[in-house]
Amino acid sequence: MPVIHFIDMNRKVTCVPGANLREVALRERYPVYQGIHQLLNCHGNGLCGTCKVAVIEGRTMPRNATERKRLKGVPEPWRLACQFEVLDNVTVTTDAKRVAEHAKATAEAARKAKAG
Ligand code: FES
């Protein structure tokens, strides 16, 4: 059973393989949507782009066609929660600052590994 670590809430939950990330997040009261988008969103149809979450750890499938269209120009690791199937343990966040810190740490680790 995959484990989703909602790092902003410091909470881990298990789900069935292939579970929809948005549905699990809403069930667990994780704030996928920000501000007015809590009310105004496409309810998981891949149309609004307001369910963005960053998957900062864990194995993921490539973005599907809907994500490629809606997230054009948006860097990895951002994904649409409504289009994301959880197949493995993942860590997710909606905090852009945390995503930037993670990217910086990952780049630093890669630089050190390359340097030997
Ligand atoms: S809920 Fe609208 S794109 Fe995901």
Residue owning the nearest CA to atom 1 of ligand 1: 44
Q: For residue 97, with 0-12 CB atoms within 10 Å meaning exposed, 13-18 middle and 19 or more buried, which class applies? A: exposed
Residue 116: predicted pLDDT: 79
In the chain, the number of structural domains is 1
Residue 44: predicted pLDDT: 97
CA neighbor of 92 nearest in space, from 53, 44, 52: 53
Q: Average of pLDDT values for 73-83? A: 96
Domain extent for 11: 3-115
Provide the CATH number for the domain around residue 56.
3.10.20.30
Residue 81: predicted pLDDT: 98
* Top mutation candidate among 37, 51, 71, 85 for ligand 1, by most atoms within 8 Å of CB: 51
Residue 47 corresponds to which tokens in the numbers above? 């149309």
Angle among Cα 99, 15, 90 to the nearest 5 degrees reads: 25
| Confidence (pTM) | 0.92
Residue 84: predicted pLDDT: 98
- CA torsion sign for 31, 33, 34, 40 is negative
Q: Average of pLDDT values for 33-40? A: 94
